Amino acid sequence: APWAGVPHPSLRVRGERSGAMDGTHVRRVTTPPETMPPPAPRFGEASVDRSAPGSVPSTLDTTRGTGVTGKADAPVGWRTYFKHKFDLQTENKDSFRVYTRRGGEEVDNASGGAPETSPANTKNRAPIKTLVLFAHGCGYTGLSWAVCVDALACRLGNETLLAAFDARGHGKSCGNAEQNYSGDSEKNKNDSVNFSAHRLARDVLDVTKELLRVCSVSSTGAGTGAGAGATSTSATRTRLSAGAYQNDARSNSRNNPTEPRRPVNVVFVGHSMGGAVAARAASLFESGGRENDSDITQETKSTVTSLRADPDQNQFVLAGVVVVDVVEGTAVASLPAAELAVSKIPKSFGTIKSAIEWSLKAGVTSNVTSAQVSTPSRLVLVETNPDKYYVWRTEIGATAKYWNGWFSGLSSVFLSNPKLPKLLVVAQTDRLDTELTIAQMTGLFQLVVVPNTGHAIHEDNPRAVAVAVDRFLKRFVGGK
């Protein structure tokens, strides 16, 4: 969201706490009122799981962290939480960094990382039946979901693939700051990137389509490459590795000619901007791209059509949408003051340690474990002899002209298909807009409230969000 990377007013007065139940250290500090941003789109007080009208509030207050413990200033790499990373190239030549891990899969923390995946060491895996795709908020990266994915993976079986990707103009995906940065601190690095709602929504569908193809997902046991080209940073190398999976898939298919081809269950999970985008991607897919909207290009409609109807594609069934901490009414009302708040974010840091410390002090997250993996992924090193310093990969201010488009009409989009299972995870209930309040009272979506969290609920309390998603999957998707 526009306020990503800045504290929320509810975090103004904070105490100090360390030694959480899971061994992580959560630090809270007092933030000067003058640095406070506008209210973020969030709503929640006590942990509540409301799946039907009149539900009684129930607590989901689990331990706040999972994974690595240690010094707050120690950055943590992706291998601690994911099994594979690779660059995925879509049909329109965009490149997206993707991190994957199967349910129940152990990660490799060794310095060498995961080996290059090959069909030889993945043949005996179960076929993937469910894909959960995670989209992050503005200014974040896919690693914002790392600790939450880690907590979720241990609850699921290996027929579920968990994948988080860096959005357009973020992290290591196309149009990122590392590619565009010229060393001029005044240069707006993301001016040329299209951050429109429909462009980002189409990216979600494109990544889904290509991820299923690369991984050769099918019910025949065909291919199981949750991380084709695991450590490769080359899209070409990823495609070459993917070809081996597809050959293996065709072989398995020939050996099981009577086995019916079943689509994969796909669930979109998104935080803030990513939540708005996930909801729009779901609406596009469900409608077949038939909305009467001039922003929806013929290319986007073709992408949707191929996903829904082409028997040669790895089709999927949209099984659900999970939106984390974004509501139209609150978000739109906050926009006028958002640019001022974003302007107060530091432009650069001398070290990654100082950036992690800032994210904790400013209330970007209150969870040290999350800050250690999420914050470094948002930075890029700039070397201008003799100076070396870190800047943000994504210039949040460059996305300002798109903010209104992300959130306007979001409630209607989210509720557009009453039959599609939906989950809204928030931090306070008092900010639900009228449309969502009525919809929740009539049981059109499930509501889970996680207490004592900021805007990045999934970073502040990753385990609680993981529990909520796990319950959602088991209830509506039958995930294991």
Q: Give, in order, the Cα–Cα distances in Å from 266 to each of 44, 84, 283, 314, 319.
A: 27, 19, 14, 12, 5
- Is 325 considered catalytic here? yes
Q: Which amino acid is at 453?
A: T
Secondary structure (DSSP) of 105-119: PPP--STT-SPPP-G
Consecutive H or E run containing 190:
none
Consecutive H or E run containing 390:
strand 387-392
User: How many other CB atoms are found less than 10 A from the CB of residue 410?
Assistant: 27
Catalytic residue among 8, 84, 170, 455: 455
Decide: 265 and 317 in contact? Cβ < 8 Å.
yes
| The token pair that represents 68 in the structure block | 């690595």
Catalytic residue among 47, 95, 173, 272: 272
- Is 470 considered catalytic here? no
Which residues share a beta bridge with 422? 321
Catalytic residue among 94, 166, 248, 325: 325
> What 3-state class would DSSP assign to 425?
strand
> What 3-state class would DSSP assign to 101?
strand
The upper half-sphere exposure of residue 107, i.e. CA atoms within 13 Å in the direction of its Cβ, equals 25
Residue 48's φ and ψ, nearest 5 degrees, are -130, 135
Q: Which residues are catalytic?
A: 272, 325, 455
